[in-house]
Amino acid sequence: MIQLINLTKKFGNTLAVDNLNLKIEKGEIFGFLGPNGAGKTTTIKMMCGLISMTEGDILIDGIDIKKDPVNYKKKFAYIPDKPFIFEKLKGIEYLEFIANLYDVEKEKFRKLLEKYVDLFEMGSYLNDFIESYSHGMSQKLLIVGSLIHSPEVFILDEPMVGLDPKSIRTLKEEFLNLSKEGVTVFMSTHSIEIAEDVCTTVGIIDKGKLIETGNLKFIKEKNKSEKLEQVFFKLTEEK
Amino acid sequence: MKEIILLSDLYFKQLKNNLSQINKEKVIKFLLFLFFSVIFFPLVYYLFFFIFKHFYTAQIIGPLLLKKLLYTFYMTFTVMIILSSIVAAIPVLYFSKEMDFLFSCPIKIESIFFIKYIKVIIDACWMIFMLIIPIFIAYSRVIKIDFFQYIFIVLSHIPFFIICVSVGLFLTIVLIKYFPGEGVRNVVVAIYGIFLVFFIIYFRMLQPEKITGASANEIMEFVRYLKTPDSIFFPHSHIMKIINNISYSGILAGISPFILFLSISIIFFAIIILIAKFWYFDGFAKKGVYNKRKIFIKSYELKKTSIFMAQLKKDIKYFVRDTTQWIQIVFLFGIIFIYLFNIFKLPVDLYNLREFIYFLNIGFIGLVMSAVGARLILPVISIEGRGFWIYKIIPDTIKNYILYKIIIYGSFLVGLGIFVAIISLGMLKTSLFINIITIFSTFLINFVIVGTGIGLGAYFADFKIKNPEDLITGLPGLFYMLITFLFVGLLLVAEAGIVKDYYFTRLVKVKEFHIINYLPNFILISLVAFFLFFSSLFIGIKRLEKLEI
């Protein structure tokens, strides 16, 4: 579903992402782990078209971001780590704006709005201006905004940061349900616990290079560790 | 006192570090500031020298007229400083990043407030102080006062500033105690802009040009209009007393009212510090609290629209909710009103030349619309702020995004420009030829303004700046103004020969006037307009496409 081929990004002389190759299948929840400055956000931003790549290709469902960016962008939803949204809009107006940008049907919007507003307990906030939202509320609004247009792929950069424990649990459950329906999730996280709970496969990146990838069981066995945390420290500290 | 010295030292060190870190951007900003100062000071000086002389040399009651004029100015300054101190005080007193830290330290509230007071007084008054320097140089030359009198007059503004800012801060503390901070600031910014525009319109409608050669009755009528409230309770009355005494009776006559005024300002200062001691923290603790409203969201029906309409709706909502944007509209209508008023009041003895004057006014329309475009069009991309990433990930192109902006803002500006041109043409009853030339020129000028404004706005887009209007005063604004002004100049040059031939043909009737002969001029200027429009948009689109967020 997602293919990163020889993906490279340089900022001046600094190599932020070095020849990254990844293939993520449909319905997988892929956890992208790595220490600070490893290249996780840079990779995600390249996948969303927010920054250009120096070399390589990115494909979603066989569509190349460089060749057909509009159809490529129809396939995914992105949740950034910093929830900057149009502050002068109300929550509900933002959701309506997103629904119209992605051409969501009225009936589908009504059903999904009802579902996710209840799930994330947002009903009493949606008529307020976004500028009055806390970090967590803005993050929840972004999450509902991404779920409302039912993308085939979710690209998430630290989506749990700022969320309350209940919302974290709801989000984890929702992604597990969606993956059963064939939705693919690419998620960067600092939390190894979240990766172990939710992800079917993980990739560990350090200094721009992918140092390990595979399903959880395979990685643990390969590195002779019972916990992903041990694998993570072993691999990142060895380097 | 020790706390104040400590805090002053902290801010002074920050300022010193900031100044010592010289980079390219700072150097450019400084040079731009220097450049505009070099233009600004002589411009203000000559403008006020002309106004003061015009009033002062009026028959018999020249000095009285000048006093009345200064009263009007100072009344305006009083309101301006009070309003701008509220606008400046809200972020400084309540939303500065260091406020939580300062309030958590063992520092007295009045010490924190004192330091912030100094910052507000500088922020709110520096522009008026910069205006006062050239204004009073002009005043000194007209009234013929010496250097020491001038210095005394300038220094006597200190208590004036202290009193006005203290009133502004009192209002701020009271308002923030009961209302959300950002909301108060937005409303005050809107009131401030509207007040300024109404003052300019009011002054224009007084028709000061009537003084020249006016009868005594007409002058008295003018003086009546300049009537301003005068009382010992108003700071402008005190400063005017000092200025009048120094100007007409010498420095010694100004000392006593100055001491009185200074004492009043110290009392005001002491009172506001006392008020802050009890109320400032209350307001700080409650700032920006909004009442949450419950809605029955389940019944919400999606209003389905196209991407274009979704953006239009979003832009309109942003426009309505951002009071800094309302000011653009108020300024816009103020400028247009004054322009139409000038046309309406065209002196009768110039009536035969009305078409020629109107041709020159095409240039004036161009300059006015350029200024309007700078405020309204140039910042439209940056206004998206940090939420711009959404446009980069949605399934649509940046080209379409820019196209929507052109349709939304371009149709408004071009429509407005042509509407203004039609109204003024109707007032002047010009010939069909001039009507066509004017409509054509107005369309081309606005076409270039829209293309250059949106194109350069995209090229220089800065989604991190707090106030996108900073673009206007920075490099983007300079480039935009330069291009649009040059185009207006070029258009006038291209059409001047045509209009001149048209008049001579009508006046002397020696040869036939065929507009077809001038087709190359029209084609050339249209090509230039198309080039500026598309090249600006091209570089803007390319920059946004490559922009890394």
Question: Model confidence over B171-205: pLDDT tens digits?
Answer: 888 888 777 766 677 777 777 777 777 777 776 66
Is there a contact between A222 and A192 (Cβ–Cβ < 8 Å)? no
Q: What is the pTM of this model?
A: 0.72
Structure confidence by residue, pLDDT tens digits, B237-262: 888 889 989 988 888 988 999 999 99
- Cβ atoms of A170 and A121 within 8 Å: the answer is no
The confidence band for B367, taking pLDDT boundaries of 50, 70 and 90, is confident
The residue with tokens 């078209």 is A49
Residue B511 pLDDT > 80 = no
State which residue of chain A sits closest to B463, comparing Cα positions.
A84
Contact assignment for B548 to A52 by CB distance below 8 Å: yes
Q: How far is CA B204 from the centre of its chain?
A: 17
Distances (CA, A) of B289 to B170, B181, B185, B186, B284: 20, 8, 14, 15, 10
* A58: contact with B, CB 8 A cutoff: no
The rounded Cα B400 to chain-centroid distance in angstroms is 32
pLDDT of residue B161: 93
Tell me what percent of the residues of chain B surpass a pLDDT of 90: 16
**B467/A contact by beta carbon, under 8 A:** no
Please list, residue by residue across A135-169, b when 16 or more beta carbons sit within 10 angstroms of its beta carbon and e when fewer do: eebbbbbbbbbbbbbebbbbbbbbbbbbbeeebbe
Question: What confidence tier does B25 reach under pLDDT thresholds 50, 70, 90?
Answer: low
What's the token pair of residue B232? Answer: 């010992």
- pLDDT tens profile B278-296: 888 887 776 655 455 555 5
CB atoms within 10 A of CB B388: 20
Band the pLDDT of A24: cuts 50, 70, 90.
very high
Q: Provide, rounded to the nearest whole percent, the portion of chain B with pLDDT above 70.
A: 85
Please report which confidence band the pLDDT of residue A185 belongs to, taking 50, 70 and 90 as the band edges.
very high
Question: Measured in Å, how far apart are chain B's first and last C-alpha atoms?
Answer: 46
With beta carbons under 8 A apart, name residues in chain A contacting B302. Answer: 96, 99-100, 104, 106, 109-110, 113
Is ipTM over 0.90?
Answer: no
Number of other CB atoms surrounding residue A37 within 10 Å = 12
Residues of B in contact with A69 (CB under 8 A): 397
Whole-angstrom distance, CA of residue B12 vs CA of residue B115: 11
What average pLDDT does this structure show over B509-521? 75
Distance separating alpha carbons of residues A59 and A42, to the nearest angstrom: 16
Q: In the predicted model, is pLDDT for residue A176 greater than 60?
A: yes
B288 touches chain A (CB under 8 A): yes
Q: Regarding predicted confidence, which is higher, B213 or B83?
A: B83
User: Is the CA virtual torsion B55, B56, B60, B65 positive or negative?
Assistant: positive
Least CB-CB distance to A49: which of B288, B385, B392? Answer: B392
Both tokens assigned to A121: 């307990």
Q: Least CA distance to A155: which residue of chain B? A: B393
A101 to B307: CB separation less than 8 angstroms, yes or no: yes
Give the ranges where B250-299 is alpha helix by DSSP (H).
Answer: 251-286
The per-residue pLDDT for B211 is 57
Q: Which pLDDT tens digit goes with each residue over B42-69?
A: 888 888 888 888 778 766 677 777 887 7
pLDDT, residue B294, reads 55
Question: In whole angstroms, what is the distance from residue B120 CA to residue B101 CA?
Answer: 19
What is the distance, to the nearest Å, from the Cα of residue B516 to the centroid of all Cα atoms in its chain?
43
| pLDDT at residue B78 greater than cutoff 60 | yes
Q: Could B302 and A49 be called an inter-chain contact, meaning their C-beta atoms sit closer than 8 Å?
A: no
As a dihedral over the C-alpha atoms of residue B310, residue B316, residue B317, residue B322, rounded to 10 degrees, the angle is 140
Q: Give CA separation, B352 vs B154, B428, B429, B515, in Å.
A: 47, 10, 11, 22
Does residue B450 carry a pLDDT above 90? yes
Residue B543 banded pLDDT, cuts 50, 70, 90: very high
- Chain B (392-421) residues lying within 8 Å, Cβ to Cβ, of chain A: 392-397
At residue B538, what are phi and psi to the nearest 5 degrees? -60, -50
**Structure-block tokens of residue A237:** 């500290």
Distance from CA of B303 to the nearest CA of A (A): 7
* Tokens describing residue A69: 């960016």
Which of A88, A92, A149 has the most B C-beta neighbours within 10 Å, making it the best mutation to test the interface with B? A88
B542 touches chain A (CB under 8 A): no
Task: Reply yes or no on whether the pLDDT at A160 is more than 70.
Answer: yes
Query: Considering only CA atoms, which of B388, B524, B376 is closest in space to residue B450?
Result: B376
In this prediction, residue B265 carries a pLDDT of: 93
Q: Which residue of chain A comes nearest to B300, CA vs CA?
A: A110
Query: CA nearest B305 in A: which residue?
Result: A100
* Cβ-contact B369, B449 below 8 angstroms: yes
The pLDDT assigned to B165 comes to 92
| Chain segment A130-159, per-residue pLDDT in tens | 888 888 889 999 999 999 998 999 999 988
Give the model's pLDDT for residue B3.
79
Contacts of B393 in chain A (CB under 8 A): 48-50, 73, 76, 78
- Of B233-237, B256-260, B469-473, the range with the lowest mean pLDDT is B469-473
Distance CA A121, CA A115 (A): 10
Put simply, the chain A residues between 111 and 150 with a CB less than 8 A from any chain B CB are: 113-114, 117, 122-129, 131-132
Those residues with Cβ within 8 angstroms of residue B260's Cβ, 6 or more apart along the chain or in another chain? B238
